[in-house]
Structure 1
Amino acid sequence: MLVPSFPQAQQAQIIRANQRDLYHVSSLREQAESVLRSWLGSRWLTRWDKEVGLLVRLVYYGATTGRAVQTLGEEYTDIWQSSSTQRVPPPSSARAGLILVPTLFAYVLGRVGSAHSLRERYPGIAELLKRLPVWLEVVSEINLAIFYLRGTYYDVVKRVFGIRYISSIPEDPQTRPPSYSLLGVLLIVRLLHRLITTVRGYQSSVLKIPGGGKGKEREGAVAASKEMYLDDRPVTSFLGPTNPEGEPARPAVEDERTMLDVASIPEGLRAARNCTLCLEERTDSCSTECGHLFCWSCIVGWGREKAECPLCRQSLNLTRLIPIYNL
């Protein structure tokens, strides 16, 4: 009895499947956020957005990869996951790793890295967690360059678990599949440029600090060089070190960052001070570059997910928000 042999999936099939999956996950998350926003409000969604993203990814990949069936992207390009050693479907432990490792790791890294208490108690660990995403990005780009050059393991986690793709489309000896080697070479060039830039930046920062900048003196000088100022005042002096979108809602009459006596404002005028994101009276008011006013916590939470104004869709840069004290 002859056992059918399936060819390895081509690079184009794997890339299109991955893009399709990203599209479906993004679409599912937008629909879930829309429903939760209408039920629980924007402030709640801003506070728990990472948990919503985690749940969406677990549901999507748990219902497909977790059940040893194709994802929508893999079905779109007719490819299946396969063990690289035995050419059989990956075991349940490998499928669980494919789902949990990237999803939970990204979630934990995002939550722990933004925890203010961790930055105060363990600054060394906080600094490590801050740099870890950059290192992971470099590792991902190296893996992607290898994929473009050799055509195997589009994802780092699949390389770790030894999971490749097979295709149901027979190979055509008369046609030559497209090559992505040039993209791999360009990625390598970009990584080399990034390495050179990082080394030069480190050398220049050391040279600018007398005596090579040792210990806390060097750390303080580097942190001061990255500080932003508004009217000769460091931004952190009036914004505080807290995580803005993680703070509970505060009544406008308790807003300490305004010159107005909110309690003396007529009710009709106070109704015009509502934030369009949380639908409550603004606190810690700030203005975007396009001139729209929001609560500081609301617009920061929004801007970290979408770099555009929620009203006019103009480009949004969180470093250019302007605190407003008299509106």
Structure 2
Amino acid sequence: AIVHNLQTLGEEYTGIIQVDSNYVMLPNKALQIFAILLEYGGEHVVDRILTRLQTEIDRSEEMLPEAKERLVRVLDGLKFIVPYVRGFHTSAFYICGGRYHISKRLTGINYILIRNWLKENHSIYGFRILGVVTLLQLLLSLIVKWFERSKKARVGNTAAVASTSQRSALQTEAASASGSSGSVSKSNKCALCMELAVDLSATQCGHLFCWVCILNWLDERQICPICREAIKKSRVIRLQNFS
């Protein structure tokens, strides 16, 4: 239909036709194809870009750790919000009208009504009610997800504090047991906190971390903090009777 500048079946049934941003001519084919690519692949591309940015920030050796943490937190927030953008845009369309697809808004493609048997204002009130209901549902879902995310972060922080306390106790015990030598083997140190590892765990790439440290890390990014190899939480092995 796009190649021959024809209406799609849905457009023909509803009596609408695509026009350019000036409501004068049909949009060119390249713009229509670009709009289709944005509609069906835009969200995935945005997610890949944000993930790529996170990886590059993690690999950067020039940035301060505080700046890295803030930027990663911002990117995590954007990745959290992106899936809701389409829903909010749809709600805005139901309430205010305009463009139904985000891709049409970005490319400037509009629709005009060419049917006479049902005017657009006949059904606008029903769509406004639908838009309000959709908006409330999205807001409720966003709030619930946000609270779950915050709760998970608090649990992670609490576990980290507990792990630090346990680590300090183990360090004291190890220092007492080692006597004059008093040094802790580097092989038993966590590569994240750089302290004596608590519940020593190994990734599939062979690096050692505290159990809590590596799981908290993998909650944010699915890569090894040392070699950047892709890893999953299910592949982390907790070492028993290891010294």
TM-score (norm 2): 0.49
- Greater relative contact order (Cα 8 A, min sep 6): structure 1 or 2? 1
